[in-house]
Structure 1
Amino acid sequence: MSNDQRLLQEAVSQFLAAEAKLDVIQRAVEGGDDLLAPMRMGLSELGLNALLIPEDEGGLGLGFFEVALIQQMLGRFVVPIDMSGNVLAALVFRRMRDTAARSAWLRKLAAGEAVFGLALSTPAAARRGASGVQSRGEALHGSVPFAQLPVGATHLLVVDEAGCSWVADIASEGLLMTPLETIDRTRSFASLTLEGIVAERIVTEPGGGDLAGELLAFIRILIAADTLGAAERMIEAAVQYSLERKQFGVPIASFQAVKHMCAEMAARVEPCKALLWHAAFVAANGMPEGPVMACLAKSHLSDVGRFVARTSTEVHGGMGFTDALGLHLWFKRIGMNRQLFGGPEFLRTEAARMQGWTS
């Protein structure tokens, strides 16, 4: 990372360390979403909504690599704020052919006037059953069984089965939403049914490549970054607990078995940083290996994250399985990330197919 990128990540980390206290997060996921208002405002002032917006449109003019670094911090502090919809929307709007519409949407994102949920229905998203979204004229029909729907969402970014991108108002007539209860209560999901809702098709500049495939790569890298941040925090929690918890009059950190558990977690996580950074870099720069690296980064971090979540909980002993320490928030977030947009086995199969190793 460059010095500017380090400073950016440190600034977000310091803000969240002060504002994203565990008790605030726990109360927020129990129904106190109003407690997150100061955090949302602070992150907005840091430029969270304007990361990918060009400077002449009121944004910071940063790239996707910086976005991944910030997502790592959101996972580290298990922040109940989902920025992935706005990130993908910004990436789509930046390619719009209509310059006036592009400017209008980007300015709305930068000002926080539009909050996007995600409804991707491409086959590579590993959807369940015979679901999907089809377009008929300017109307969308079909269903998305698992859509990301952040609190306060005003719009949906929809990708239909043909790979076309659409923007739909969350209040559109014919849009039916059924909230889903998952193990991860720090983010919101819903099942969507689209019964002829009117939407705006995003027409991009010609020669832009497979936009739908790139969006999948971007969201997978963001999820991998989130898992990396959560795993790092769980290791730190295990080490800190092992130094404080005593048995037979000495800290359990002095026991060889506990030392080995913590060392194994660190040894598995450390190489993931380079893997994630490389995946984010090639995706940000539109390199051909971007989709493959996204699959490999997410699949590997899914496995490493699961190992860290389990091992860190074991270091905490019986207390680790209760909600007294809040460890379950990171545990469940990592578990949810593992399945979003394809589990490890699915993604490795995808990577093999992309490289021509399987049909």
Structure 2
Amino acid sequence: MEFALSEDQRMLQDSISGFLKDNASLDTIRKIADGDADAKATLAAGLSEMGIMGLHVPEAAGGSGLGLLEACLVQEALGYAVTPSGFLAATVAAHVLPNAGEAYAEGVATGDMVFGLSLTELSSRRDLAGLTLKDGHVSGKTLLAMVPDSATHVLTADTDGGLHVVDTWSATAMRTIDRTRTFQELGFDHAKCEASMAQADGALEAARLLIAADTLGAAQAMLDKAVEYAKERKQFGRVIGSFQAVKHLCAEMTAKLEPARALVWHAAYAMDTGDPEAAVMANLAKAHLAEVGTFVAKTSTEVHGGMGFTDLLGLHYWFKRIGVNRQLFGSPEQARHSAAELQGFVAA
């Protein structure tokens, strides 16, 4: 049995990573974080031209027909470069929308439909927020939505766990510590649902798995930066990487991150193959990567010393991305609770 990535999968990730290396430099990310709409639009257009938005759309609907494992490889590359992208929303939409009608999947594949994602009601409902469904229309507001500037539709959840496709909403920007991505508070005033699904159909698990992959990529970038810095920075006439304490910090980050990568791959494979434990594994991947990512972010900053907190290195972009990912679509505790419920470990 082959436990490694296939050649095609490695080539897919390498092609995305190569594009981002050339087009998503730290200077570009700084511009985007400072609100440069042109830089953000140029990067988004380049990613769309690579065809990744239709990666998870079935071939019959005009997409690439690839699985969540390949989607996780792409999301990992996006996290490594702290790149803003509508890929996660497009992938979750492609994962569930074939059940709502082939036209939506085709729209995602062709780029005629650009989806935003708002699943807060499935994971961590907030006070004074929430969506209600009545007579095929939704009303209320939802927080921490991920909606691209060019979005034509939003996939959103109501307080009863149903999913809906809506093309009319109002948006208010929400500021988080992560400036590499934008989040919104969405308002719906008796907005008509173009399509509805009574149950989430794995949308939350897919979103959590992709966020875990994003954190994996960001954490790997922070580890790589820590190792490179330790090879160059000198104290007392020696590179700090020769000091036992620094070696231990880097080794501990590696020891925690490598098994986490296997967990993400396994969870994605389970989702693709319909494994009965797929949802459990996706939730556990989200929870575990949130904690491993937090450890790597903190430890990498420690290796950099005082320089780690400066804007010169830009390490804070990865640090904050990991921090926001920790809470997106549910905290580690919430994800583990979901896994426990699925396994019948929670008392009724």
Q: TM-score, with normalisation over the residues of structure 2? A: 0.94
Residue 198 of structure 1: aligned partner: 192
Output the CA distance in 2 between the equivalents of 1:348 and 1:164: 22
Q: Distance in 2 between matches of 1:16 and 1:211?
A: 36
Q: CA deviation at 1:121?
A: 4.8
Report the CA distance between 1:38 and its aligned residue.
3.6
Within-5 A mapping of 1:320-359? 320-359=308-347
Residue 26 (str. 1) matches residue 20 (str. 2): no
Q: Which runs of 5+ in 1 are unaligned?
A: 204-209
Query: Is 1:73 aligned to 2:77, yes or no?
Result: yes
**Cα deviation digits, residues 259-310 of structure 1 (max 9, x gap):** 1111110011010111001111112223221221111111111111001000
User: Given that residues 352 and 358 in structure 1 are in contact (C-alpha distance below 8 angstroms), is that contact kept between their aligned partners in structure 2?
Assistant: yes
Contact 2:96 2:201 in 1 (8 A): no
Bigger CA drift: 55-64 or 275-284? 55-64
Note the residue ranges of structure 2 that are not aligned, 5 or more in a row.
none
Task: Decide whether the 8 Å contact of 1:150 with 1:189 is kept in 2.
Answer: no
Q: 1:94 to 1:8 in 2, by over 3 A?
A: same
One-letter amino acid of the counterpart of residue 132, structure 2: Q
1:161 alignment counterpart: 159
**SS of the residue 2:323 aligns to:** helix
4+ residue segments displaced more than 3 Å: none
Residue aligning to 1:151: 149
C-alpha separation in 1, matches of 2:182 and 2:13? 25
- Change in CA separation of 1:201 and 1:162 when aligned onto 2, cut-off 3 Å: farther
State the Cα distance separating 1:151 from its structure 2 match.
Answer: 2.7
**Secondary structure in structure 1 of the residue aligned to 2:99:** coil
How much identity, in percent, do the aligned residues show?
Answer: 49
Contact 1:119–1:156 under 8 Å retained in 2:
yes
Counterpart AA for 1:155 = H
Q: Distance in 1 between matches of 2:90 and 2:8?
A: 23
Q: CA deviation at 1:139?
A: 1.2
Judge conservation of contact 1:227–1:301 (CA < 8 Å) in 2: yes
Q: Which residue of 2 aligns with 1:312?
A: 300
| Correspondent of 2:252 among 264, 269, 279 | 264
Question: Aligned pair 1:231/2:219, yes or no?
Answer: yes
Q: How many residues align?
A: 343
2:293 is the alignment partner of 1:302: no
1:63 aligns with 2:63: no
The CA distance in 1 between the partners of 2:329 and 2:42, in whole Å, is 30
Choose from 170, 174, 177 the match for 1:180.
174
Q: Does 1:85 align with 2:89?
A: yes
Q: Structure 1 counterpart of 2:148, which letter?
A: P
Contact (CA 8 Å) 2:23, 2:43: kept in 1 or not? yes
Label 1:258 to 1:121 Cα distance change in 2 as closer, same or farther (>3 A): closer
Partner of 1:207: none
Determine if contact 2:96/2:202 at 8 Å carries over to the other structure: no
Q: Look up the equivalent residue of 2:30 and give its one-letter code.
A: Q
Task: For residue 94 of structure 1, give the secondary structure of its aligned residue in structure 2.
Answer: helix
Structure 2 equivalent of residue 206 of structure 1: none
Q: How does 1:94-109 map to 2 (within 5 A)?
A: 94-96=98-100, 98=101, 102=102, 104-109=103-108
Q: Is the 8 A contact 1:132 1:144 kept in 2?
A: yes
CA RMSD of aligned residues (A): 1.7
3-state SS, counterpart of residue 316 of structure 1: helix
Out of 18, 23, 26, the residue aligned to residue 14 of structure 1 is 18
AA aligned opposite 1:303: E
Amino acid at match of 1:357: F
- Partner Cα separation in structure 2 for residue 167 and residue 150 of structure 1: 15
Q: Does 1:120 align with 2:119?
A: yes
Tell me which amino acid in the other structure corresponds to 1:299. Answer: A
1:216 matched to 2:204? The reply is yes
Stretch of structure 1 that moved more, 70-79 or 338-347: 338-347
> What amino acid sits opposite 1:154 in the alignment?
T
Relative to structure 1, the CA distance from residue 151 to residue 93 in structure 2 (aligned partners, 3 Å threshold; closer, same or farther) is: same
CA distance in 1: counterparts of 2:113 and 2:85, whole angstroms: 14
1:121–1:133 Cα contact (<8 Å) kept: no
Summarize deviations over 1:24-44 as a string: whole Å, max 9, x none: 111111011211344323322
Residue identity in the other structure for 2:205: A
Q: Over residues 134-192 of structure 1, what are the superposed CA-to-partner deviations in whole Å (9 max), with x where a residue is unaligned?
A: 211121112212222223222111222333322111xx2xx332210000111111122
1:322 positional shift: 1.1
* CA displacement 1:102-154 (0-9 Å, x = unmatched): 1x3223212222221112254x4112226322211121112212222223222
1:46/1:176 Cα in 2 relative to 1: closer, same or farther (>3 Å)?
A: closer
CA separation of 1:194 and 1:41: change in aligned 2, threshold 3 A: closer
Task: Please tell me whether the aligned partners of residues 29 and 80 of structure 1 are also in contact (alpha carbons under 8 angstroms).
Answer: no
